[in-house]
Structure 1
Amino acid sequence: MLTVGIVDDNPLDLDKLELIVGKVATVELQLKANNAEEVYAFIQETPVDLLITDIEMPGMSGYQLADFIHLNNMNTSVIFVTAKSGYAVHAFELNVHDYILKPYNQERLVQSIERFTDKKEAGKITGRLFIRSGGDLVIIPKDEIIFLERTGRTTTIHTTKDVFESYQSLGELEGDIRESMFIRSHRSFLINLQYVKRFTEYSKKSFEVVFEGTSQKALVTKEKLKYLQENYF
């Protein structure tokens, strides 16, 4: 069951959110609020999977709330539902799930929630990766892998607990992983999207990938980043 919180200072818009969310069978509404301060206090104690929020509200804004979630690496995704289009670029920087402009219809929001649910289910990484490292056969849980990097004849596997090196090619290991959240971001990198924190411009054709769990960075091409924006973020 997907846990959801909704917040909007306009009573009619808030009731509309509640009505639509209530029609999604896989959703449990845990929080309904008319101000971001109440949500801010609530999610620190009881995080929700998905927060649907207006942006411009008295006091703390929805953008400030999403920024708090992002900076604290909370496992809560955000959908902005707003009459203002000017925040769209900044919203991407916060890795929000969706940006919906008012007025919107029921189908638009339901599709967004269902897409988030599908992504969440697809993102459950299971199984283990077997690699040859030196004379050893090393077993690595796939959900601990942050990214893989090919340098010369060596592939380096960066995990949450250790770093391993193997002479197996990046293509060979990519075939062994076969998980939707692992993306070939660059000819030399295979990244796990679950650990991506942000993208920083590196050159005209590529961006650096900053991860949670390691100070090491990967690269993503401009074309692949556009694909990720359209299909994952």
Structure 2
Amino acid sequence: MLTVGIVDDNPRDLEKLELIVNNMENVELILKANSADEVYHSIQKTPVDLLITDIEMPGMSGYQLADFIQLNNMKTAVIFVTAKSGYAVHAFELNVHDYILKPFNPDRLIQSIDRFTEKKDAGRVTGRLFIRSDGDLVVVPKAEIIFLERTGRTTTIHTINETYETYQSLGELEGDIRESMFIRSHRSFIINLQYVKRFASYSKKSFVVIFEGSSGKALVTKEKLKYLQENYF
């Protein structure tokens, strides 16, 4: 069951969100509020899987609320539903799941929630990766891999506990992983989307990927980030 919270200072818009969510199967609306300040206090006690929020509201804004969620590493995804288009770039830097402009067709939000549910279910990475490292055959649980990095003739596999080096190429390892949450983000990197914390501006053609559980950083091209926004976030 997917738990959802909604917040909008406009009563009609809040009612519309409530009707959409309540008519969906396997979705439970457990939080309804007309201010981000109320949600700020509520989710610290009772987190939700998905928060659907307006951006411009009296007091705390939806953007500030999403920033709080990210800074505290809360396992709550955010969908912005707003009449303002100017926040889109900053929103994706916060790694929000979606950005929907008002007025919107209910199917647009339903599809977004369904896509999040599919991503959440697909995120259960299982299996093991076998690599050759220093003459040994090392077994690495896929769920522990944060990202893979190609440098020169070697590939470094960063996990939540340690790193491994192998002469196997990213192409070889990519074929062995075969999990939907592993994405070839750049010619030199494969990233596990489960550990992505945020995307930070780096250059005109790429962004830096910041991870939970690792001080290491990867790169994602602008084109690949657009693909991720359309299909994963």
1:198 Cα deviation (Å)?
Answer: 2.5
Residue 112 of structure 1: aligned partner: 112
Task: Map residues 172-211 of structure 1 onto 2, 5 A cutoff.
Answer: 172-211=172-211
TM-score relative to the length of structure 1: 0.94
Unaligned runs of 5+ in 1: none
**CA distances 1:191-220 after superposition (whole Å, capped 9, x unpaired):** 112222233343443332222211111222
Is the partner of 2:69 in helix, strand or coil? helix
* Whole-angstrom distance in 2 between the partners of 1:177 and 1:202: 28
More deviation, 93-102/157-166: 93-102
Equivalent position SS for 1:209: strand
Partner Cα separation in structure 2 for residue 91 and residue 204 of structure 1: 18
1:15 aligns with 2:34: no
Does the 8 Å contact 2:146/2:192 carry over to 1? yes
Residue 79 of structure 2 is matched in structure 1 by 79
Instruction: Provide the rounded CA distance (Å) in 2 between the counterparts of 1:207 and 1:83.
Output: 27
Once the two structures are TM-superposed, the CA of residue 221 in structure 1 deviates from its matched residue by 2.3
The question of whether the paired residues in 1 share the 8 Å contact of 2:98 and 2:229 is answered with no
Mapped partners of 1:70, 1:15: distance in 2: 27
SS in 2 for 1:180: coil
Distance in 2, matches of 1:50 and 1:56, equals 19
TM-score normalised by the chain length of structure 2: 0.94
Aligned to 1:124: 124
C-alpha RMSD of the superposition: 1.5
Work out the CA distance in 2 between the residues paired with 1:166 and 1:83.
50
Q: Which has the bigger relative contact order, CA under 8 A and spacing at least 6?
A: 2
Q: Which moved more, 1:201-210 or 1:31-40?
A: 201-210
1:138 is matched with: 138
The alignment-based identity, stated in percent, is 82
Letter of the 2:209 counterpart: V
After superposing the two structures, state which structure 1 stretch, 56-65 or 199-208, moved more.
199-208
Alignment of 1:33-44 (within 5 A): 33-44=33-44
